[in-house]
Structure 1
Amino acid sequence: MKKLVSVFMTCCALFLAGCGAQQDDGKVKIGVSIASFNDTFLMYVKDAMEAKAKELGDVEIVYTDGKEDVTIQLSQVENFIAQGMDSIIVIPASTDATKPITNAALKADINLVYVNRRPDYLPEGSYYIGSEERVAGEMQARYVAEALGGKGNVGILMGPLGADNTNKRTDGVKGIVADYPDMQVTREQSGKWMRDMGLSILENWIASGDKMDAIISNNDDMALGAIAALEANGMKKDVMVVGLDATPDALAFMEEGRLDATIFQDSKGQGQASVDTAYKLAKKETVEKETMVPFKLVTPENFKDFL
């Protein structure tokens, strides 16, 4: 009996050793927590991450959906730490609530890269890949101001309140509008990046009877919802709509003459740069603390370049 127990224990030990060897396969392991799988643009960022990982070859990535909840994201990061990830990438649900995530990763001595939404807490040992968000809002508003001859009422559809990109894009719009005495922001409301909320907000604004000359949206999905509401009320021809992201859906609307402009946010550039940065950090290579990917204005004149 003792001999059988001894043989059993030896087999178990060999099995566990084999499992450990299989896990330590030499690949760089990266855990990615994405703020929301329901965000169209962020799914394009994820696609770019997957493409970059495939290109590198020796990378294994685990993706999780943060469901726009900071508590869920913290739990996901803690799980990544427990799994011994070489690097962690986070697209934060809330940019002003990342400190616990950052501290947990740094305490565990694991490389941490934030993407797309810049946290307000970015100490040494943490990195950021994104774009100059205020510039995007300025580009939107400048295009509208020139198209309207510097006159008109502007409504702003905002992302989640408190988010860094929401604040900076909105501030960029307002900064440009303030330069034109005959332009004013008459409405602003958060649609949380969602198309159906963009639609319902516009329905309420239309019902209020306010005169609107342009809708500037912090992203494309809300802009497309706004267009649906305007079209349903026969008002689209009188109201400009400008989005942000240059998603395929937005470009299709532009090709049909339904969206006036958008801003190209380089999901491929952000996604690939984030994996490249996380990979280099795992390999003990030097990287820039912040990498900025430029925005570009997309109009009916040049949209085919972005298809």
Structure 2
Amino acid sequence: MKKKVVSVMLAVAMTAALLAGCGAKTGSGEKDSKEKYKVAYVARAQEDSFAAWLADEMKAEFKKYDDMTLEVFDGEANDEKENSIIENCITNGYDAIIVQPNNGEAQLPYIQQVVDAGIPCITTNPRVDCEGTGSVDADPYEQAKVNCELALEQVPQGAKVVVLNGPAGNFHSTERRKAWQKEFFDKRQDVEIVAEDIASWNKDEAMALMEDWVQAYGKIDAVISMNDNMAAGAIEVVKDNADYKGMLAYGVDGTAEACLLIKEGLMTSTGLQSAGDLAKMNVEYVHKVLKGEIKVTDVYDNVPAPLITSENVDEYITMYEKNGQIKK
């Protein structure tokens, strides 16, 4: 039986409220032994396969603690919505707020409001440079670089490629694109970028772009994508087209879907961004901050970025089978 990725959609309701900040703090308050710390996790978009995976891992990690509770909010890849959720979390008096930004620049003033309200705040996937916060992230440059090193050997001479980018202003998207430029395109000037556009991490948007590019440019030798979701969208458009057999496709995240595509020979490689590791580190750190063991400003860490290819994909598929994201 063909293996399938299990999708989990989170339904979240919230109302927006506005709160002006007051003096900045980085401390935490002690709780009564019967009280639990309330933590809010503001996810950027649950339609994004990686963001959904990370939210699920966050929920699983919080279940390991009997003195904390978690509420997850869906920003729906909308800056205004995510900013309103952050304000609402301040108003509702959460003990800590973990923010996964949709657009770091857009969320920065609202993250600053969290700091000014004296609420410990950790930014994750990607981190946002805001004084008074902590961060748990990956190195997006390294995530792309591991793909670039492989692509230098695999992409044929004179290849025509297309590039799919994440949201403008997103730290992970811009850093991954910088890596591809410096570590691949500058070294392989024979390669032609025939089209490049923003698909905002979204599979459907990537499909729409790929459909246009196939019509406009014919043969495409490789898809260079800043995440797996967009790469999967591009692959979906041409997977049954014999003219595109052997097309290379590179992504980042190491999602369950990407691993199955690599196993099928439809995707070339991906740099793993382990949602499990990110969640574990976020939860451990926020717990230490709330217990007064460390300051939130002491929180700064990265997860590793191993490369997944056809040679090692089976071990990651096994991992996803064990956690229920892939059904046998």
Correspondent of 2:195 among 187, 193, 200:
187
Q: 1:46: which partner in 2?
A: 55
Aligned length in residues: 283
Shift of 1:218: 1.0
Given that 1:111 and 1:126 are in contact with CA atoms closer than 8 Å, whether structure 2 keeps it comes out as yes
Given that 1:141 and 1:216 are in contact with CA atoms closer than 8 Å, whether structure 2 keeps it comes out as no
| Letter matched to residue 131 of structure 1 | A
Correspondent of 1:98 among 87, 101, 107:
107
Correspondent of 1:271 among 263, 266, 279:
279
**Residues 153-302 of structure 1: pairs in structure 2 closer than 5 A:** 153-176=160-183, 177-209=185-217, 211-286=219-294, 288-302=298-312
- Cα 1:80–1:25 change in 2 (3 A) is farther
- Give the RMSD, CA atoms, in angstroms: 1.9
Q: Which has the higher contact order (CA 8 A, sep 6+)?
A: 2
Q: 1:86: which partner in 2?
A: 95
Give the structure-1-normalised TM-score: 0.86
Query: Gaps (5+ residues) in structure 2?
Result: 1-31, 318-328
| Letter matched to residue 37 of structure 1 | Q
Given that 2:225 and 2:252 are in contact with CA atoms closer than 8 Å, whether structure 1 keeps it comes out as yes
Encode CA deviations 1:59-91: one digit per residue, 9 max, x unaligned: 111111112222222222222222221110000
Larger radius of gyration, structure 1 or 2? Answer: 1
| Letter matched to residue 76 of structure 1 | I
Given that 1:51 and 1:272 are in contact with CA atoms closer than 8 Å, whether structure 2 keeps it comes out as no
Separation in 2, partners of 1:136, 1:150: 24
Higher helix share: 1
Encode CA deviations 1:215-255: one digit per residue, 9 max, x unaligned: 11111111111112122432332421112111111111122
Bigger drift between 232-241 and 89-98 goes to 232-241
Given that 1:245 and 1:265 are in contact with CA atoms closer than 8 Å, whether structure 2 keeps it comes out as yes
Give the structure-2-normalised TM-score: 0.81
Query: Gaps (5+ residues) in structure 1?
Result: 1-22
Residue 64 of structure 2 corresponds to residue 55 of structure 1: yes
Separation in 2, partners of 1:237, 1:142: 22
Given that 1:140 and 1:216 are in contact with CA atoms closer than 8 Å, whether structure 2 keeps it comes out as no
Q: 2:19: which partner in 1?
A: none
| Letter matched to residue 162 of structure 2 | G
Residue 155 of structure 2 corresponds to residue 148 of structure 1: yes
- Cα 1:279–1:206 change in 2 (3 A) is same
Shift of 1:183: 2.5
Given that 1:264 and 1:297 are in contact with CA atoms closer than 8 Å, whether structure 2 keeps it comes out as yes
Shift of 1:24: 8.8
Bigger drift between 207-216 and 276-285 goes to 207-216
